[in-house]
Structure 1
Amino acid sequence: MAGVERGVERHGRPRDPGNDAAILDAALDLLIERGATGTSIEAVARRAGVAKLTVYRRWRAKDDLLMAALEHARTPGADAPPAGQSIDHLVESIAALLGDPRFRALMARVIGASVDHPELVTAYTRRHLRPRLDALAETARQAVDAGHFPPGTDPAAVQDVLAGSIGSVLLEPEQDAARIAARLRLLLHHIGYRP
């Protein structure tokens, strides 16, 4: 059978998990440094210190490798926040993520890939962004129901304000988490949020 099965390569050698991590780290670094178009499997292999064939045995195409690198980049702090957490905790977690320069650079590269690598952006949206937006919508709904916003506030409007502000923060020069959190709280205050 062609390909890799249960951690054993085609020729029967056990797969080295250290190689997998080195390849994924190299792919993520190059994606951040050069973007999707400027990243090649050859460059990833060089950066990871492995043979090009080692990369191709695991990932047949560059986009598959880049999607795996994005998945590999996930950390507990980058997972979707739990639905139902308070708006205040949500603001803090968003601000911490947006204050991370590496995350900001990665987001810029993912957004920039939308023209030449739309499937990469689609996969990122489906696996990472959509769960975050869904959790944000549920948190907004619970905050409206709990009376933290004026009666009749549409939870979708709260979601749109926060999601839109995330996009605008990513377009600005780097900021620290405290400034980002203060900005998000100010926006929420203007649409009637009361802790």
Structure 2
Amino acid sequence: MRAGFPKAATGMVIGLLGGSFDPAHEGHAHITREALKRMGLDRVWWLVSPGNPLKAQGPAPLADRMARAKAVMRDPRVVVSDLEARLGTRRTVDTITALQRLYPGVRFVWLMGADNLGQFHRWERWQEILLRVPVGVLARPGWGVRGRMSKAARIFNGARVSRGEQLRMRDAPVWCFVNLPMDGSSSSAIRARGDWRR
């Protein structure tokens, strides 16, 4: 494997949690720990993105966001990575495609909060994401019903399973909405306070 790329063995099931992480906070760590437990994942890779195509304003510098993410998520099963910058990808579907090519025999599960499920249909080639990998949706405050009633959830309703562990074994398209204890942490609220890089 190339330098700077995480190691993974054939047969592993790895969750991918992508985002700006601007900044990373306990809510990200909380849903990661829950995904590891409820979906039976071997590892989770945080994909700290160079930027979010759906956001008008660019994020803080990547190095700052990586440092903060590593400080927040201290679990040996979690890798904080700048893979998208290394791969030169900006769209989730391109990142997943590249990782499947680089890691044959590894099973990837895309992880997202219910807030992202609500706007998932705006992501470029979003249906291809669901056709490529299982998707685990983790509850977020205020997004339970809205996430489950979103356009993507309605279109792929027949591919929904009831338990997170089923994502380990079922081929895409398959997705699961996982209810969990809520953590109200928010990157936008932390940015609004303006104190995260001090």
Structure scoring higher RCO (CA < 8 A, sep ≥ 6) equals 2
Q: Which has the higher Rg, Structure 1 or Structure 2? A: 1
Quick check: which one's strand share is greater? 2
TM-score, normalised on structure 1? Answer: 0.23
TM-score, normalised on structure 2? Answer: 0.23
